[in-house]
Amino acid sequence: MVHVKLLDDLMRYDNRLTVGQEGYTIDTIPDRGDAFATVRFNNGACLDVLWKGLEIIDKEYLEERKEKENSKREALKKAKNVQVKRGPRGGFKYISYEYELDGKRHSNCNGNRIEGEELCDFFKSNGIEVKEI
């Protein structure tokens, strides 16, 4: 369960769901990639809400997530097999890479152009070879 605050006015679904209402997610974690979270609000309302319509205000969860992100960022400084696929006119298609975190090997591929280009710059700035394929 994650403590959240409602950012959108959802009174069309339940007149208690005004901006700023707080509640807790039910069996949904933001890191899983789900678009919706089922939220039981403190006022008794319960509804599936898009994550982009919620602000996570759970300090413990946010601290844990920040620590995980920092650990991953450090692990990415030792990434291997970094490859960038570009289209025929040089446009970004995806970036793939491998890294080790907590003793486990991970392979990742990212097709988001903005995130991918940022990752490409990050790898290059850390002296990691980025192969264009």
CATH of the domain at 23: 2.30.30.30
Distance CA 28, CA 72 (A): 22
Q: Select from 24, 123, 18, 129 the least CA-distant residue to 76.
A: 123
Instruction: Tell me, yes or no, whether 40 and 78 share the same domain.
Output: no
pLDDT value for 48:
92
Distance CA 83, CA 80 (A): 9
pLDDT value for 14:
96
Edge-first strand listing for the sheet containing 54-56: 46-50, 36-41, 22-25, 3-6, 54-56
Domain holding 90, by residue range, is: 69-132
Flag whether the pTM goes above 0.85.
no
Q: pLDDT per residue over 69-115, tens digit each?
A: 999 999 999 999 999 999 999 999 999 999 999 899 999 999 999 99
Is there a domain that residue 64 lies in? Answer: no
Band the pLDDT of 32: cuts 50, 70, 90: low
Instruction: Tell me, yes or no, whether 105 and 87 share the same domain.
Output: yes
Is there a domain that residue 102 lies in? Answer: yes
Domain count, the chain: 2
